[in-house]
Amino acid sequence: MQAYLTLVRRELGGFFVSITGYVIIASVLLLLGISFTGILGVLNDSPTDVPLTELFYQSYYFWIILLVTPPIITMRSFAYEKGTGTYETLMTTPVSDLQVVLAKFSGTLVFYLLTWLPLFGCIAVVRYLTGEARVLDPWTTASTFLGFTLMGCLYMSMGCFASALTRSQIIAAMNSLVIGLGLFLLSLRTLVPVPPTDWASRIFSYISLSDHVEDFARGFVDTRHLVFYGSLTIFFLFLTLKAVESRRWN
Amino acid sequence: MSDGLIIEVENLTKRYAGHVAVDGITFTVQRGEIVGFLGPNGAGKSTTMRILACFLPATHGTARVGGYDVFTEADEVRRRIGYMPENNPLHLDMRVREYLKFRARLKGLGIRRSRERVEVVMQQCGLTEVRRSIIGHLSKGYRQRVGLADALVHEPELIILDEPTIGLDPHQIRSVRQLIKDLGRHRTILISTHILFEVEMTCNRVLIMHEGKILAADTTQNLQNIMSDGLVIAEIAAPVAELRACWEQMSEIDHFDIAPSEGDYLRCALTPRAGLDLRPLVFEQVRTRGWALRELGRAHHSLEDIFVHITRPDTEEETR
């Protein structure tokens, strides 16, 4: 446990001692700001009953942030250490492979969540200015945050896996972008009008990220989604662990 | 397992796709020894060290550190060794003290204990004045000390250092070497290098590796003697004919060679009959004949000579 916490701290610290962390936070803040002002503009013209959190999901910026930041956050995790050689000093300390994988995953996840915090600032601003309690409904906000966290878990585990495969950060980022984008593109299938009886469209609706996200933003927490994200995250963490262990395979 | 042995390697083989890096080596290291791993690049030194440090698995054979198997009881082994890999990788964005504390915590030391140990190793390695510096801003010599301090911080029984002086300037090499020597008073150290001189300066015993095999394992003194065949170099100012006559008369000299040197001096290379030390005899001759002598000593062989010597099939017998 001690080694795990030490590693998580180091992982998080790594973002803040280098410029990378600040660049990521600043970029996310910029994109969130743009989408926020955009949403406010639309709301001024045509008021709607849709929760504010859901409006965020419907903007392109949200998806850009979701698809682009995880590869950049996770590319460092293993590839950087392998590239500089510190991987060898790390793996020769009495720390288990599982601890290393979990620490890398948790470190990147915490950083990812930190980058999303400004969103709640945006919502709080609207709540403050409108005086409308419904804007910052605790349940919707919590479920939105849960949605972020679950998607973060999935994308971080994918990113860690991609990073564990290579010693080049760029290749790690590209790989994880491709996996992440691939999963996202599958969800576009549900946007194509098809007969509802089609078995393929049913399957695609199960894995459609946009459908999941909509539910979370409306305040629905569906166990199907929990299972979906949970199992995929565990699957990718398992693959990461195997990638880390592979150096000890004969 | 015997009490005095800290490393027991038996029939260790490491095969990478297509080539054999370590080829069935067997050796042991006693507690308290400083052992030098000598060999050219690609001899298998780093691979052997990585296996001992539980970073890589062996293809065949066993390796035990302090009685624990490096593959099945890796955690126990890792607790007992301090390992500094080749090129000494460090987190360049961290500060010296912060880095050492991070490493101490990773190695399982408690908060108070790690604080104490970090202070001790910083003192030991001469890092106290740069404790707040960012590692990336330090000179290579200091970085090497940080690497050493990291290897020491959890008080390991065995320290494994892979090419600790590579890329340092002569002054830094000296200080790192001295540091290693000081550490060796209380600990077992396994150190790899391709500089013979370094082994002579710091180690009690040397293992020579070449193409994945251990070709010789002996004390540095014995190895030197075997290598040089007792060859003595003397620079003497005297008439050539006299010198020649003198060496021919001496039954202890097997054969000799005389070459002109700077000034009036002649450089004589004298090979004794087996096992003799010619130096006192030569000095005696010089003294009684009233010649001028400006150098008298055993020939030092470079690593290159040793390799040429050792890898010749007909000499393998005598070295091992």
Question: How is chain B split into domains, by residue range?
Answer: 5-226, 231-298
Architecture of domain B231-298: 2-Layer Sandwich (3.30)
What is the average per-residue pLDDT within B115-139? Answer: 91
> Does A78 or B178 have the greater pLDDT score?
A78
The answer regarding whether domain B5-226 maps to CATH 3.40.50.300 reads yes
CA dihedral A91, A96, A102, A103 (to 10 degrees): -50
Report the candidate in A57, A58, A68, A74 with the shortest Cα–Cα distance to residue A28: A68
Give residue B228's pLDDT: 64
Residues of B with a Cβ under 8 Å from any A Cβ are: 50, 53-57, 59, 71, 75, 78-79, 81, 83-85, 87, 89-94, 102-103, 105-108, 150
A98–chain B Cβ distance below 8 A for any pair: no
Give residue B318's pLDDT: 44
Nearest 5 degrees, angle CA B134-CA B138-CA B141? 140
The letter for the amino acid at B104 is A
Q: Element (H or E) spanning B64, and its range?
A: strand B60-65
- Give the residue carrying structure tokens 């539910």: A215
- Partners of A3 on chain B (C-beta within 8 Å) are 105-106, 108
Pairwise CB contact (< 8 Å): B54 & A93: no
Query: Distance between CA atoms of B231 and B234, rounded to whole angstroms?
Result: 10
Report the candidate in B254, B201, B209 with the shortest Cα–Cα distance to residue B230: B254
The letter for the amino acid at B142 is Y
What is the distance in angstroms between the Cα of A212 and the nearest Cα belonging to chain B? 39
Pairwise CB contact (< 8 Å): B93 & A96: no
The rounded mean pLDDT for chain B is 84
Q: Are A104 and A241 in contact (CB under 8 A)?
A: no
Q: What is the pLDDT of residues B51-105, one digit of tens each?
A: 999 998 888 899 999 889 988 888 889 999 999 998 889 999 899 999 999 999 9
Q: Element (H or E) spanning B268, and its range?
A: strand B266-272
CB contacts < 8 A (A, B) = 66
What is the distance in angstroms between the Cα of B180 and the nearest Cα belonging to chain A? 19
Preferred mutation among B106, B107, B132 to probe A, highest tally of A CBs within 10 A: B106
A121–chain B Cβ distance below 8 A for any pair: no
The letter for the amino acid at B285 is Q
CA dihedral A80, A81, A85, A86 (to 10 degrees): 140
A130–chain B Cβ distance below 8 A for any pair: no
Check whether B2 has a pLDDT greater than 60.
no
- Partners of A14 on chain B (C-beta within 8 Å) are 91, 93
Q: What is the pLDDT of residues B236-287, one digit of tens each?
A: 888 888 888 888 888 888 888 888 888 888 888 888 887 678 888 889 888 8
Preferred mutation among B16, B22, B47, B55 to probe A, highest tally of A CBs within 10 A: B55
Query: Distance between CA atoms of B208 and A123, rounded to whole angstroms?
Result: 69
Q: Measured between CB atoms, which of A17, A89, A250 is closest to B57?
A: A250
Give residue B226's pLDDT: 67
Q: Are B190 and B161 in contact (CB under 8 A)?
A: yes
Q: Can you tell me whether residue B256 is helix, strand or coil?
A: strand
Band (B303; pLDDT cuts 50, 70, 90): low
Pairwise CB contact (< 8 Å): A92 & B106: no
Q: Divide the 250 residues of chain A into consecutive groups of 10 and give the mean pLDDT of each group.
A: 91 88 90 84 76 72 86 92 92 91 95 87 79 72 85 93 94 94 80 64 74 78 87 95 86
Q: Measured between CB atoms, which of B78, B85, B106 is closest to A85?
A: B85
Q: Measured between CB atoms, which of B71, B84, B107 is closest to A94?
A: B107
What is the distance in angstroms between the Cα of B263 and the nearest Cα belonging to chain A? 53
Give residue B301's pLDDT: 64
Check whether B1 has a pLDDT greater than 50.
no
- Partners of A247 on chain B (C-beta within 8 Å) are 55-56
Q: Are B160 and B66 in contact (CB under 8 A)?
A: no
Check whether B137 has a pLDDT greater than 90.
yes
Give residue A46's pLDDT: 77
Pairwise CB contact (< 8 Å): B102 & A10: yes
Exposed, middle or buried by CB within 10 Å (0-12, 13-18, 19+), for A197? exposed
Q: Which two tokens stand for residue B293?
A: 């002598």
ipTM of the complex: 0.85
